Amino acid sequence: MNIAVYPGSFDPVTNGHLDVIKRAAKVFDKLIVAVLINPSKTPMFSVEERVEMLREVTFDIENVEIDCFSGLLIEYLEKVNSKIIVKGLRMVSDFEYEFQMALINKKLNPEVETIFFMTSNKYGYLSSSIVKEVASFGGCLSDLVPDSVIKHIFKKLKK
């Protein structure tokens, strides 16, 4: 069974992430979307909230599971019996960082492959940070994140 892991912060999940999830789910037997627990960052949403939003937007994709992890990605892959990392690639600016991550993960476990999904043209500009910035200034979020996520963002901003 080909199990792939799509790791990230997903703070929050965007339509760009969802596009990668849908396309990767067609390629692998099982896709685990894994939210990084990173105490050194101050996210907008807790890990539990991010996991909940991901579950809401992927409930209809049978072979997708949502999980969270801390520590090294390579160790998490071992735990879930996977040797494939899925990443989305938007533009040249993503490349240097993603190249470095793919190389260090390869160094840590030569059996692991990182497979990149090029972003769909319409999501090339999209990131969780841009979504949060648009939201903070009251801009329109439709087309940027799924509707259920818009509700979570509004709720968070009201607080």
Q: Is residue 9 at the binding interface for ligand PNS, with CB under 6 A as the rule?
A: yes
Q: Is residue 88 at the binding interface for ligand PNS, with CB under 6 A as the rule?
A: no
To the nearest whole angstrom, how small is the minimum distance from the Cβ of residue 131 to ligand PNS?
13
Indicate the residue whose CB is closest to ligand PNS: 8
CB atoms within 10 A of CB 118: 12
Choices 6-14, 24-32, 110-118, 146-154; region in contact with ligand PNS by CB under 6 A: 6-14
Which of 27, 48, 72, 91 is the binder for ligand PNS (CB under 6 A)? 72
State the catalytic residue, choosing from 23, 83, 90, 106.
90
Q: Is residue 16 at the binding interface for ligand PNS, with CB under 6 A as the rule?
A: no
Distance (Å, rounded) from C-alpha 32 to C-alpha 85?
10
Q: Which is nearer to ligand PNS, 64 or 73 (CB)?
A: 73
Q: Which is nearer to ligand PNS, 40 or 142 (CB)?
A: 40
Which of 5, 13, 73, 149 is the binder for ligand PNS (CB under 6 A)? 73
Q: Are 120 and 19 in contact (CB under 8 A)?
A: yes
CB atoms within 10 A of CB 57: 25
- Within 18-37, the residues that bind ligand PNS by CB under 6 A are 36
Tokens linked to 19: 């596009």
Tokens linked to 7: 């790791």
The set of residues, in sequence order, having a beta carbon less than 8 Å from that of 68 and lying 6+ positions away, is 34, 35, 36, 37, 47, 50, 51
71 carries a ligand binding annotation? no
* Active-site residue flag, 50: no
Burial class, 107, CB count within 10 angstroms (exposed 0-12 / middle 13-18 / buried 19+):
exposed
Q: Are 150 and 142 in contact (CB under 8 A)?
A: yes
Q: What is the DSSP letter of 121?
A: G
- Applying CB under 6 A, the residues found at the interface with ligand PNS are 7-9, 36, 72-73, 101, 104
